[in-house]
Structure 1
Amino acid sequence: MTQPPIDVSDFGMDTISMSGSLATKLQAIREGGFSQVMLSARDVAGHDGGLEAAAKLVRDSGLRVSGFQVLRDFEGLSGHLHDYKIDVAKSMLEMCKAVGSKLLLVCSSTSTHATTDLDAMARDLRKLAMLALPLGIKVAFEGLSWGRTVNEFPQAWDLVCRADAPNLGLALDSFHAFATKTPLEELEDLDPDRIFFVQLADFMWQEIRSVEERITTARHFRVFPGEGVHSEQLAHFVTALDRLGYRGDYSFEVFNDDYQQMQPITVAQRAWRSAVWLQDGVLRRSVPLPGQMRLKSRA
């Protein structure tokens, strides 16, 4: 008896997780079994045919765009630096709309030129949200684990609440939560309707001993869920969000130098195996860890 295909429609991939052109990445993600994609602004802006051609590629791929990333070092600036970032934000919002994304990802500032005043930072995030509102775009704010003022998700949540904009919410990233050892019980204090996006990744060692090592690990040594040493934490992270009532998208944001030297379809297949583990093994508790699975063909 033929088993029904496994539904991993809640999971997608970031284009940053593989090498190649935008067309190559989209094809690999689709052929790997996914129906959604998180687009990197760099992949879109760097497309040879320009923005319009990049947008057509995305539409023709049949993939739903779950988000567009990432606006960096936005909040807390003043004077000409603030004006400059507003211009950058407007440009990114235009690209975001052009490729069919209804979500812009923003990560907390690392700039030493930014104020640490939370009210001023909240005003900037609210201003960004108001710029996005007429375009039908939501803004998801993520706390980088090496952010200057906001480096854990409870702090990011506090800033989102201070800003109090209808289209401003929280983005969660499992890597940053594990890197800072933020108690996952803190997830219980979040409003699931204000969690706009969740990114997932693992890494290969238990301890990160410095901020420098944290940045290096984040940018070069992430792995897909189930491939690292934090599988139990990842399972807890996802099930806690599920119990909380989160029903939004998950995406694999995996920066890994080794994956950049592999065929994109091979990387996508590794990601799909992680999606199966999380969907059927964690959320439905029916399959073992990815390294123990023998997956059947989806054909």
Structure 2
Amino acid sequence: MSHNPKFLNLVLLNGGPEQKLQAAREAGFDQVEIWREDVQACEQGAAALAQFAGQQGIGFTNLQVLRDFTGASDGLRVEKREELRQFIQIAQALGCDTIQAPATTREDCLPECIDDDLRWMASEAARYKMRIMYEPMAWCSVDNTLPLAWERLQRLDQPNIGLVVDLFHICALGGDASQLDGIPADRIYEVQLCDMAEKPSQDKQALIDTARHQRLLPGDGIINIEHFVDKLKSAGYQGPVGIEVFNDELKRLPPAEAAQHAWRALNRYWP
């Protein structure tokens, strides 16, 4: 039996935030990845949502998603840094210690500023005992693969920034579990499992559309999920493992039913 926390990304479920939390907990999940939009949809605010989650017995893996922070142009840098502070405040109110901040997708980013931006982000987050999850996404303008993201984090050596391993973004560009080779297990902050019907077109918009509407639950597509699981377990990975599936059809189901489907799929691969 796994001791890794098991989470569900709430993007799979429809309904209000309390309904989503209850559905995830009743299905069996220990934690959820919660979006800022979920928190904003709670009329009573983040603290009340945290209290409800505590009553349900479910925790927060991370708060999502701080977009396009790194390499922001001079005109946007102050704005993005203030946005990080807002995320930190929300996370604190939730009792959550981790914020997800993917690599930038902006074509006008300033690559020479990315290292400094990540160092600043790490320092600011550390003031509040927060961690940052850095995610390479298939359509990012920099660091769009796990090896590229790891090379940067390894060079920067910031103890509170770690990687997100998302099977979609690895496999959508033709990668496989060998990309995990050489990454210490403790530098991986979470693992997001999903599947896909076929490798999407490499066009940026096609990648985004597939990622945000047509992901499948693990076992329903072509990804060799067992290979990833074997690599992670062999490396001694002890962090959160869960489901991040954007799927329009599943989202139309009652939230309790969709959460149960996700729980069964996760436990096929990570019991």
- Same fold per superposition (TM over 0.5): yes
* Aligned residue number for residue 125 of structure 2: 132
The residue number in structure 1 matching 2:179 is 186
Which of 249, 256, 262 does residue 265 from structure 1 map onto? 256
Q: Distance in 1 between matches of 2:239 and 2:57?
A: 19
Please name the residue that 2:41 is paired with: 46
Distance 2:103 2:202 in 1: 21
Shift of 1:210: 2.4
**In the aligned structure 2, how far is the partner of 1:7 from the partner of 1:28?**
21
Q: Unaligned 5+ residue runs, structure 1?
A: 1-5, 281-299
> Contact 1:126–1:164 (CA<8 Å) still a contact in 2?
no
CA displacement 1:59-96 (0-9 Å, x = unmatched): 22210211111111000123230000000111011111
Contact 2:165-2:192 at 8 Å conserved across structures? yes
Q: 1:195 aligns with which of 188, 203, 206?
A: 188
Task: Please say if residues 9 and 36 of structure 1, whose CA atoms lie closer than 8 Å, have aligned partners that are also in contact.
Answer: no
| Contact preservation (8 Å) 2:229, 2:270 | no
SS at match of 2:101: strand
Q: Report if aligned partners of 2:21, 2:53 keep a CA contact under 8 Å in 1.
A: yes
Report 1:223-234 matches (<5 A). 223-230=216-223, 233-234=224-225
Show the counterpart of 1:163: 156
* 2:27 counterpart of 1:27: no
Q: Is the partner of 1:38 in helix, strand or coil?
A: strand
Tell me, yes or no, if structure 1 residue 242 matches structure 2 residue 241.
Answer: no
Q: TM-score, normalised by structure 2?
A: 0.95
Kindly tell me: are residues 169 and 254 of structure 1, through their superposed partners in 2, closer, same or farther at Cα, counting changes over 3 Å? Answer: same
Contact 2:4 2:241 in 1 (8 A): no
Tell me the equivalent position of 2:136.
Answer: 143
Instruction: Specify the code of the residue in structure 2 equivalent to 1:35.
Output: D
* CA positional deviation for 1:193: 1.3
Alpha-carbon deviation of 1:114? Answer: 0.9
Query: What amino acid is the match of 2:228?
Result: F
Greater RCO structure (CA 8 Å; 6+ sep): 2
SS at match of 1:75: coil
Structure 2 unmatched runs, 5+ = none
1:108-135 CA distance string (max 9 Å, x none)? 1011221123xx2121111111111121
Q: How many residues align?
A: 271
Identity across the alignment (%): 32
Following TM superposition, by how much is the alpha carbon of 1:215 offset from its aligned partner in structure 2, in angstroms? Answer: 0.8
My pick for the range that moved more, 98-107 or 178-187, is 178-187
Check whether the contact 1:145–1:152 (CA below 8 A) recurs between aligned residues.
Answer: yes
The separation in 1 between residues aligned to 2:63 and 2:164, in whole angstroms, is 12
Q: Report the Cα offset of residue 9 of structure 1.
A: 5.5
Q: Is contact 1:188–1:244 with CA below 8 Å preserved after alignment?
A: no
The residue type paired with residue 162 of structure 1 is R
CA distance in structure 1 between the partners assigned to 2:200 and 2:29 by the alignment? 32
Secondary structure at 2:168's aligned position in 1?
helix
Aligned to 2:91: 96
Query: 1:19, 1:259 within 8 Å by CA — same for their partners in 2?
Result: no
SS at match of 2:61: strand
Instruction: Within 5 Å, give how 1:42-121 maps onto structure 2.
Output: 42-117=37-112, 120-121=113-114
